[in-house]
Amino acid sequence: MRKIVIVGGVAGGATAAARLRRMDEMAQIVIFERGEHISFANCGLPYHVGGVIRHRQSLLLLTPETMKRRFNVDVRIHHEVARIDREAHAVEVRNLLTGETLAEPYDHLILSTGAAPVRPPIPGIDLPTVLTLRNLPDMDRIIAAAGAHPGGKAVVVGGGFIGLEMAENLRHKGIAVTLVEMADQVMTSVDRDMAALIHQHLRAHGVDLRLKDGVTQFEPGAVHLRSGQRLPADVVILAIGVRPEARLAAEAGLEIGPRGGVRVGPDLLTSDPDISAIGDMAEVPAFGSSENTWVPLAGPANRQGRLVADRLAGLKIRYDGIQGTGIAKVFDLTVASTGKNEAALRREGVPFQSVVTHSNSHAGYYPGATPITLKLHFSPEGKILGAQAAGLDGVDKRIDVLATAMRLGGTVEDLTRLELAYAPPYSSAKDPVNIIGYVASNVLNGHSRLVDWRYVSQRDRQQTVLLDVREHVEWHAGHIPGAVHIPLGSLRDRLGELPADKEVIVYCAVGQRAHTATRILLQNGFNAANLTGGFRLYQTVAQHIQA
């Protein structure tokens, strides 16, 4: 009987075990998990801290007993795999309760050991008030610490997904939160302008956001920052990122990639054909690229778990790469992205253009519509390279449509052709995804030229004119310094006021009226461009991105 040993019993490991059993009733399947729980909902942990998920029990999806009864999988919790002996085809396992060590042979080994929170050697990092969040015991410690200081103060270090979720959930508990982030933006998976929307929202919800600052020291009851400030802190959540748990694999001589994860190919095999690696510990092929990448997310870990089981069951598999689709709830705001962001495209030297739109989540005349800011990156041929979205409602379905289009090799032209479900409570006859397709195809076929907030702030004031085409009331409520104002309705009559020898950068609130104005100007011989994302995005960036 073939024996499959799995190290790590949560997202990737438990999925691989269950799928393999469904495919192969005969195999012997053993899971070693060093913690107390298998198959728990890591992604739900922050929400139990905040009391949104009320019952701790709801986070436990499968117990070792259910796994045995339902799938005939031998699960051994509190068992840590300490070493892989590739020659002997065995792992050395320590029982963490008894201290005993045993050797467990395998025919095939699946590694799904995940990623561990980064804990740099900052003075005071080992204080009991400096907490990280990976599993249920971590969560229990945070709940106890927060409970000991009702109405107290927390410092969250790190503005990634977990840091943001923790900031929100600690606020739910009535705790004052300061969020410290070393970079000039939170959530580096999105571009700076999109992050500005998150900064604005965090501040509106009472989070004291400190960008471009880092921790130099922790002490009981306080955190010291590089800027010289001392922040009082009853609880500190350290959420500055995770690192692949690849020590076992590295010590066994398996090939390790540049980000510290175990390198696997499209077959999810490591450099040893008898060992697979999946999930957060693995550097896997990137979607649409010949490179490998490392993206620690639950969806890919689950998918890889299923695929590896299929391969062991004799099916042909090919992991066609991680696309990096992610989403986060930041209080009422939903922020999501798929594919590559600006920074990655620039780093890789990929030519691209970008458009930003603000469309309503559903028909404006039906109650409750709110704007969705959508951003799309596409190649000169129109291929979708990445997308980002932020808003209060309907963000998840738009990013999922865009992620699907991208996965299927779609172009901006394809977005204009998608026939999406519409009735006033849900969308508009032109869905936000259609709209961004129209805007991007106008750019591609030369009907429109767009510039972004950076271009406007760095413009050559001698060679450009900034034109605001909004109504008087909007202009008086605020405008970009140095702009001239001609409302769209009177533009045709006042063209003579604009210099024909300068570039005219047009803006309105969101970009739609400015597009019409740009078309008027272009057809009258002006060199005109539209500020993508309009005044709304420009103003948010100006107020919420530190220079």
The binding site for ligand FAD (CB under 6 A) comprises 7-8, 10-13, 32-35, 42-43, 45-46, 80-81, 112-114, 133-134, 162, 245, 248, 279-281, 296-299, 301
Burial 473-486 (b: 16+ CB within 10 A, else e): ebbeeebbeebeeb
Residue given tokens 């020898």 in the structure block: 501
- Which phi and psi (to 5°) does residue 67 adopt? -60, -35
> What is the smallest separation between the CB atom of 28 and ligand FAD, expressed in angstroms?
18
> What is the smallest separation between the CB atom of 327 and ligand FAD, expressed in angstroms?
7
DSSP state of 224: E
Instruction: For strands 215-219 and 208-210, give the pairing.
Output: unpaired
User: In this structure, are residues 231 and 223 in contact, taking their beta carbons and an 8 Å threshold?
Assistant: yes
Q: At 229, is the secondary structure helix, strand, or coil?
A: coil
- Which phi and psi (to 5°) does residue 151 adopt? 70, 15
User: In this structure, are residues 233 and 155 in contact, taking their beta carbons and an 8 Å threshold?
Assistant: yes
What is the number of the residue whose Cβ is closest to ligand FAD? 279
Q: At 391, is the secondary structure helix, strand, or coil?
A: strand
> What is the smallest separation between the CB atom of 386 and ligand FAD, expressed in angstroms?
17
By beta-carbon proximity to ligand FAD, the closer residue of 17 and 508 is 17
> What is the smallest separation between the CB atom of 297 and ligand FAD, expressed in angstroms?
4
The sign of the dihedral angle between the CA atoms of 254, 259, 261, 264 is negative
> What is the smallest separation between the CB atom of 393 and ligand FAD, expressed in angstroms?
19
> What is the smallest separation between the CB atom of 18 and ligand FAD, expressed in angstroms?
13
By beta-carbon proximity to ligand FAD, the closer residue of 13 and 371 is 13
By beta-carbon proximity to ligand FAD, the closer residue of 162 and 483 is 162
> What is the smallest separation between the CB atom of 518 and ligand FAD, expressed in angstroms?
40
Name the token pair of 154: 């927390």
User: In this structure, are residues 146 and 169 in contact, taking their beta carbons and an 8 Å threshold?
Assistant: no
CA torsion angle 359 362 367 368 (round to 10): -70
By beta-carbon proximity to ligand FAD, the closer residue of 98 and 523 is 98
43 given a catalytic annotation? yes
Q: Is the backbone of residue 260 left (phi > 0), alpha (psi -120 to 50) or beta?
A: left
By beta-carbon proximity to ligand FAD, the closer residue of 265 and 299 is 299
By beta-carbon proximity to ligand FAD, the closer residue of 83 and 383 is 83
Burial 50-80 (b: 16+ CB within 10 A, else e): beebeeeeebeebebeebeeebebbbbbebb
Catalytic residue among 23, 43, 60, 183: 43
By beta-carbon proximity to ligand FAD, the closer residue of 233 and 328 is 328
- Cα distance between residue 147 and residue 127, in whole Å: 18
- What is the 3-class SS of 184-208, one letter each residue? CCCCCCCCHHHHHHHHHHHHHCCCE
User: In this structure, are residues 12 and 301 in contact, taking their beta carbons and an 8 Å threshold?
Assistant: yes
> What is the smallest separation between the CB atom of 278 and ligand FAD, expressed in angstroms?
7
By beta-carbon proximity to ligand FAD, the closer residue of 261 and 533 is 261
Cβ count within 10 A of residue 285: 21
- Cα distance between residue 443 and residue 449, in whole Å: 6
> What is the smallest separation between the CB atom of 237 and ligand FAD, expressed in angstroms?
10
By beta-carbon proximity to ligand FAD, the closer residue of 50 and 391 is 50
Residue given tokens 């692949």 in the structure block: 244
Cβ count within 10 A of residue 229: 13
Residues marked active site are found at: 43
